[in-house]
């Protein structure tokens, strides 16, 4: 994969727009035709032509080409959020009476779709511990049409062996979907490992500047055309041309940003793991992670997101620590240029006691997730040090 070519040149037809180096924002909702005959012809294939921006738009199209190439996919559809990309992929893959297998602890709105929304339409989902592929295999039924993976997930970073799951589905005609947001297209290539569809919250590393919400779905054209004719056009969650342009600008530095935040996150994870006030660190690229060997096998480099839990008896210590941070903003989401801290304590009542044992389906109340941005990692470590000193 020639990443530099993809990020800088692929999909850009500069001679068509005055040799401008930066592509134009084609800010239009509709495209017009020279004749009724041309109109009839183009209407036949909105997937590949320009007719209406809810379907396709030239600025969005440049982005589609780049993300497809980065993922090693035949094509890509862009959405106005990662949640829309995942929902469209799922809805296009199942009908009433079908069954889905999904890993435990997927992104919260993926869970909501599978656990609350789809059962209303007769689609059941089994949630399983995906750290062992045998659990996924054991959950398969004749009605299973889709396996939903997220490797690793974005809070406690459990992995799935993507090649092994893909192998399971080969003879059974089951589709696989993997949320690859954590790794970005640069650090993991699920399609090369045999996965059918890859989804991204492009809000994260792909855009990288905390100013756009968007999603991507990559895979073979046969499936994506089906997604396009179904949920994509009916739900209408297309990105605006301006957002697509901002993401194109964000992409120029994808490689630098992903390398920098991954290297800094590894350094910070190692420092936290050695700190006497830290009970636990969750990070696939630490040897203490139970699936470290798998992380090294299927991920190219460390990611920029990690979690840790300080030693404490209740979450009041977490509030004190997080309120003392000066270089981390307290916020949800991740993958931007700025460092963020997201404590699970914010989703529990004040002073929630820390349980003695971890619950398999949820994160502990004293977990703090850190999204490592582009700042000097030593500055971030100094900030964590002074905040840990207060508890
Ligand atoms: C792992 C993961 N997948 C999907 C999403 C949904 O993406 P979006 O917020 O762009 O809809 C998120 C959002 O936080 C996420 O963390």
Query: Does ligand 1 have an atom closer than 6 angstroms to the CB of 336?
Result: no
pLDDT of 359 over the 80 cut = no
pLDDT tens digits, residue range 219-243? 999 999 999 999 999 999 999 999 9
Pocket probe mutation, ligand 1, options 203, 212, 340, max atoms within 8 Å of Cβ: 203
Query: What's the DSSP call for residue 353?
Result: B
Segment 85-90 mean pLDDT: 98
pLDDT at 385 over 90: yes
Average pLDDT over every residue of 249-262: 98
Ligand 1 contacts CB of residue 179 (under 6 A): yes
First to last CA, the chain: 47
Burial of 133 (0-12, 13-18, 19+ CB in 10 A): middle
Q: Is 19 left (phi over 0), alpha (psi -120 to 50) or beta?
A: left
Residues of the chain with CATH 3.90.1150.10: 254-388
Question: Which listed CATH number (3.90.1150.10, 3.30.1360.170, 3.60.40.10, 3.40.50.11540) goes with 254-388?
Answer: 3.90.1150.10
Ligand 1 site-directed mutation target among 78, 112, 154, 199, most atoms within 8 Å of CB: 154
| pLDDT > 80? residue 378 | yes
Contact 104, 128 (CB under 8 A): yes
Phi, psi values for residue 385, rounded to 5° = -60, -50
pLDDT in tens, 110-141: 999 999 999 999 999 999 999 999 999 999 99
pLDDT value, residue 1: 73
Token pair of 368, please? Answer: 């703090």
Mutational pocket test of ligand 1: of 80, 81, 83, 198, the residue with most ligand atoms within 8 Å of the beta carbon: 83
Q: What does the pLDDT read at residue 105? A: 94
Query: Does the Cβ of 215 fall within 6 Å of ligand 1?
Result: yes
Residue intervals of the chain classified under CATH 3.40.640.10 are 3-251
Q: 3-251: which CATH number, 3.20.20.70, 3.30.230.10, 3.40.50.1580, 3.40.640.10?
A: 3.40.640.10
Interatomic CA distance for residues 179 and 60, integer angstroms: 21
Q: Decide: 82 in ligand 1 pocket, CB within 6 A.
A: yes
pLDDT at 280 (0 to 100): 97
Taking 90 as the threshold, does the pLDDT of residue 42 lie above it?
no
Nearest-CA residue for ligand 1 atom 12 is 201
134-171 pLDDT, tens digit per residue, is 999 999 999 999 999 999 999 999 999 999 999 999 88
Q: Which atom of ligand 1 is nearest to the CA of 106?
A: 1
Ligand 1 near 135 CB (within 6 A): no
84 CA closest ligand 1 atom index: 11
Q: How far is the CA of 170 from the centre of ligand 1 (A)?
A: 28
Copy the structure tokens of residue 12: 């850009």
Bridge partner residues of 201 (DSSP): 215
**Cα 238–chain centre separation:** 17
Sheet of strand 368-371, all strands in order from the earlier edge strand to the far edge: 278-282, 305-310, 368-371, 340-343, 329-330
**Residue 81 CB–ligand 1 contact under 6 Å:** yes
User: What is the position in ligand 1's atom list of the atom closest to the CA of 86?
Assistant: 4
CB 321 within 8 A of CB 341: no
CA 248 to ligand 1 center in whole angstroms: 19
Q: What is the CA radius of gyration of the chain?
A: 22
Confirm if 174 and 201 have CB atoms less than 8 A apart: no
Structure tokens at 116: 């609350």
* DSSP of 129-152: -TTSHHHHHHH--TTEEEEEEESS
What is the signed CA dihedral for 301, 302, 305, 308, rounded to 10 degrees?
A: 160
Residues 45-74: what's their mean pLDDT?
Answer: 96
127 Cα: distance to centroid of ligand 1 (angstroms): 19
């Amino acid at each position: 994969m020639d990443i530099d070519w993809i990020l800088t040149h692929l999909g850009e037809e500069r001679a068509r727009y005055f040799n401008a180096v930066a592509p134009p924002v084609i800010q239009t909702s509709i495209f017009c035709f020279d004749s009724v005959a041309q109109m009839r012809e183009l209407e036949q294939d909105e997937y590949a032509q320009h007719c209406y921006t809810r379907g396709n738009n030239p600025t969005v199209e440049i982005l589609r080409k780049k993300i497809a190439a980065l993922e090693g996919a035949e094509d890509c559809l862009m959405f106005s959020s990662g949640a829309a990309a995942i929902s469209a992929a799922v809805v296009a893959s199942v009908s009433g009476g079908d069954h889905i297998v999904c890993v435990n602890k997927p992104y919260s709105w993926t869970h909501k779709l599978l656990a609350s929304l789809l059962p209303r339409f007769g689609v059941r989902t089994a949630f399983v511990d995906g750290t062992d592929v045998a659990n996924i295999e054991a959950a398969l039924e004749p009605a299973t049409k889709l396996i939903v993976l997220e490797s690793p997930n974005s809070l406690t970073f459990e992995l799935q062996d993507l090649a092994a799951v893909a192998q399971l589905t080969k003879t059974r005609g089951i589709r696989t979907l993997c949320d690859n947001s954590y790794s970005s297209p640069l650090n993991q290539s699920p399609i090369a490992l045999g996965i059918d569809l890859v989804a991204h919250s492009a809000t994260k590393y792909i855009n990288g500047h905390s100013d756009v919400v968007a999603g991507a779905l990559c895979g073979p054209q046969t499936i994506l055309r089906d997604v396009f004719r179904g949920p994509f056009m009916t739900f209408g969650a297309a990105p605006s041309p301006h957002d697509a342009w901002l993401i194109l600008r964000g992409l120029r530095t994808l490689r630098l940003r992903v390398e920098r935040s991954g290297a800094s996150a590894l350094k910070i994870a190692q420092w936290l793991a050695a700190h006497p006030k830290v009970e636990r660190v969750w990070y696939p690229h630490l040897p203490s992670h139970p699936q470290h060997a798998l992380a090294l096998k299927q991920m190219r480099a460390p990611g920029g997101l990690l979690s840790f839990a300080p030693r404490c008896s209740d979450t009041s210590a977490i509030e004190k620590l997080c309120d003392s941070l000066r270089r981390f903003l307290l916020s949800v989401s991740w993958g931007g240029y700025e460092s963020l801290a997201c404590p699970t304590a914010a989703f529990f009542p004040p002073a929630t006691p820390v349980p003695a044992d971890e619950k398999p389906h949820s994160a502990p109340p004293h977990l703090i997730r850190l999204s490592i941005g582009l700042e000097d990692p030593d500055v971030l470590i100094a900030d964590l040090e002074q905040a840990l000193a207060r508890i």
